[in-house]
């Protein structure tokens, strides 16, 4: 990727990149700013537009103004800052539909966690009570910056350690400070002391931080499926559904597993508590009746491929086949960094591999033709379907005019990607965070020349270490 030589005579690529970044940053407050990305392979993830070869993309302010070939010669691109992406893929930013961001300074403290009970006992019961508001800020900011680095432009933070109003405030502020498109899904902690402010505090949060629908941050209510983990107060049902409905916000329901959750799903459907505004997370081991009820009501599904398989949640098999069988196209998520990878490339590859392995294995020796998903499916799950899962498909998830300019510029001619043969195959099976040259969120640059912006790494590193040491030290003394 380089700046255009007609607008920047400098020949040194590093100097060109620095000059363009300076120009982009000086223009960020201008609502009429224009950025023209030229000669790219544009993976729109729009079923009608598909993938465009040697195409341009015009950003006007926060939104995508046009996508297609030859935009540079049209008047709408006059005065635009030009970025030559002739050796790159332009794609929608990824959407992480469920991550417990506050845990980020505890990354890989239990990489071989054996089951859900071990995670709950160690993290939610043992370490979470030691968190101060400052620790919420540090963990959430670290998770959001890491998300941007790996091409995730939208992050749903399932923030289930809201011990006080200040804990919630700190988590939201961390999202705001990174410039990511953030969804704060608020839930009280499972165990330990807390102020009893949830769910009533959601009204204050909405008034304070989410006054309009046309901003980077949005609010959801977070809950659990049943009372098995932490008691009935956290279980989704009429009371919490009414809170969400009164506030006009969506709901994300975690720990949707097995027979108890299947019964809960049927009850919610009967009571009218399901719909597109409700996202159900994991969904492993559910009955066919539950899946039918989810499809009939239009409920969304968030899969966590590595979490389900590695931790062994219920059946340990990501429920992609069950979802697709009833017409639900799921979103994807990271879940817990205490044991799992932090990026969406890993989720796409894991799901792609697991589903195809199971499909072929199920047909082995029978002569049947197995139904296998492809790379376009998992990229769709990671982008457009992820946006739909968190209620933002009208805002992000695909590159079409009118949507927010949340996008990636991925180097396609790096050592691990060259030569570019299949763009979607390259994104899913070849690329990783090192290949992401630039990330834009709402038309504002958040990563450039391979480096995340506004992250003082030495200071951040010290904050993360200090926070981790406080949490582990406090937990050991209690």
- What CA–CA distances, in Å, run from 451 to 359, 439, 456, 468? 39, 10, 11, 24
Domain boundary among 370, 389, 408: 389
Smallest CA-to-CA distance from 160 within 218, 207, 101 is with: 101
Tokens 């697991």 correspond to: 354
For residue 177, pLDDT beyond 70: yes
The answer to the question of residue 368 being in a domain is yes
The answer to the question of residue 473 being in a domain is no
Whether residues 251 and 354 fall in one domain: yes
Q: What is the mean pLDDT of residues 183-207?
A: 97
What CATH number did the domain enclosing 73 receive?
2.30.40.10
Q: Please report the pLDDT score of residue 478 as a whole number.
A: 65
For residue 73, pLDDT beyond 80: no
The answer to the question of residue 476 being in a domain is no
Whether residues 402 and 310 fall in one domain: no
Q: Would you state the structure tokens that stand for residue 124, as one six-digit string? A: 């939610």
365-374, 395-404, 448-457: segment of lowest average pLDDT = 365-374
pLDDT digits (tens, 9 = 90+) for 276-292: 999 999 999 999 999 99
The answer to the question of residue 230 being in a domain is yes
For residue 5, pLDDT beyond 50: no
Q: How far apart are CA 64 and CA 67, in angstroms?
A: 8
What CATH number did the domain enclosing 328 receive?
3.20.20.140
Whether residues 109 and 203 fall in one domain: yes
pLDDT digits (tens, 9 = 90+) for 304-341: 999 999 999 999 999 999 999 999 999 999 999 999 99
134 DSSP 8-state letter: H
Whether residues 190 and 61 fall in one domain: no
Whether residues 434 and 358 fall in one domain: no
Percent of the chain at pLDDT exceeding 90: 90
For residue 230, pLDDT beyond 80: no
The answer to the question of residue 241 being in a domain is yes
End-to-end CA distance of the chain: give it in Å, rounded.
53
Q: What is the mean pLDDT of residues 47-75?
A: 93
Whether residues 377 and 300 fall in one domain: yes
Count Cβ neighbours within 10 Å for each residue of 29-44 and write b for 16 or more, e otherwise.
eeeebbbbbbbbbbbb
The answer to the question of residue 219 being in a domain is yes
Contact 467, 103 (CB under 8 A): no
Whether residues 83 and 128 fall in one domain: no
Smallest CA-to-CA distance from 147 within 354, 322, 338, 333 is with: 333
pLDDT digits (tens, 9 = 90+) for 144-156: 999 999 999 999 9
Domain boundary among 389, 413, 438: 389
Helix (H) or strand (E) holding 272: none
For residue 62, pLDDT beyond 70: yes
Full residue range of the structural domain in which residue 374 is found: 94-389
Whether residues 297 and 370 fall in one domain: yes
Whether residues 130 and 274 fall in one domain: yes
Task: Report CA torsion sign: 286, 298, 205, 335.
Answer: positive
Domain boundary among 389, 409, 437: 389
Q: Please report the pLDDT score of residue 231 as a whole number.
A: 81
For residue 261, pLDDT beyond 80: yes
For residue 95, pLDDT beyond 70: yes
Total domains in the fold of the chain = 2
Whether residues 310 and 257 fall in one domain: yes
Whether residues 128 and 60 fall in one domain: no
Q: What is the mean pLDDT of residues 391-417?
A: 98
Per DSSP, the residues of 418-470 read -S-S-HHHIIIII--GGGEEEEEETTEEEEETTEESS--HHHHHHHHHHHHHH
The answer to the question of residue 477 being in a domain is no
Q: Would you state the structure tokens that stand for residue 284, as one six-digit string? A: 């492993």
Q: What is the chain's mean pLDDT, rounded?
A: 95
The answer to the question of residue 292 being in a domain is yes
Whether residues 197 and 282 fall in one domain: yes
């Amino acid at each position: 990727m380089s700046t255009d030589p007609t607008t920047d005579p400098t020949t040194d690529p590093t100097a060109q990149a620095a000059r363009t970044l300076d120009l982009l940053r000086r223009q960020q407050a201008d609502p009429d700013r224009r950025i023209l990305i030229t000669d790219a392979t544009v993976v729109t993830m729009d079923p009608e537009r598909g993938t465009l070869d040697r195409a341009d993309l015009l950003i006007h302010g926060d939104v995508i103004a046009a996508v297609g070939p030859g935009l540079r010669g049209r008047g709408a691109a006059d005065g635009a800052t030009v970025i030559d992406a002739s050796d790159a893929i332009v794609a929608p930013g990824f959407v992480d539909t469920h991550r417990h961001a506050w845990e980020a300074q505890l990354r890989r403290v239990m990489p071989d966690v054996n089951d859900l009970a071990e995670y709950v006992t160690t993290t939610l019961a043992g370490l979470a009570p030691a968190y101060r508001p400052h620790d919420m800020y540090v963990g959430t900011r670290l998770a959001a910056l890491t998300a941007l680095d790996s091409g995730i432009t939208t992050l749903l933070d399932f923030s289930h350690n809201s011990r006080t109003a200040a804990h919630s405030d700190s988590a939201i502020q961390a999202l705001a400070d990174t410039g990511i498109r953030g969804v704060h899904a608020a839930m009280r902690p499972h165990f330990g002391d807390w102020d009893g402010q949830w769910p009533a505090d959601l009204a204050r949060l909405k008034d304070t931080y989410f006054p309009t629908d046309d901003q980077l941050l949005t609010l959801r209510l977070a809950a659990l499926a049943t009372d098995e983990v932490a008691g009935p107060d956290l279980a989704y049902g009429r009371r919490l559904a009414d809170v969400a409905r009164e506030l006009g916000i969506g709901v994300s329901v975690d720990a949707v597993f097995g027979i108890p959750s299947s019964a809960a799903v049927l009850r919610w459907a009967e009571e009218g508590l399901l719909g597109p505004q409700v996202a159900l997370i994991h969904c492993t081991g559910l009955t066919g009746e539950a899946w039918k009820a989810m499809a009939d009501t239009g409920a969304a599904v968030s899969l966590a491929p590595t979490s389900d398989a590695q931790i062994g949640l219920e059946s340990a098999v990501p429920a992609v086949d069950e979802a697709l069988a009833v017409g639900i196209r799921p979103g994807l998520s990271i879940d817990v960094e205490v044991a799992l990878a932090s990026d969406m490339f890993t989720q796409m590859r894991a799901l792609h591999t697991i589903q195809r392995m199971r499909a072929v294995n199920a047909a082995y020796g029978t002569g049947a033709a197995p139904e296998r998903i492809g790379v376009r499916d998992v990229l769709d799950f990671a982008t457009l379907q992820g946006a739909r899962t968190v209620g933002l498909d009208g805002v992000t998830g695909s590159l079409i005019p009118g949507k927010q300019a949340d996008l990636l510029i991925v180097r396609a001619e790096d050592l691990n990607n060259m030569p570019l043969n299949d763009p979607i195959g390259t994104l899913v099976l070849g690329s990783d965070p090192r290949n992401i040259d630039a990330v834009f969120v709402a038309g504002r640059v958040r990563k450039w020349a391979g480096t995340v912006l506004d992250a003082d790494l030495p200071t951040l590193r010290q904050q993360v270490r200090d926070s981790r040491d406080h949490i582990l030290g406090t937990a050991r003394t209690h």
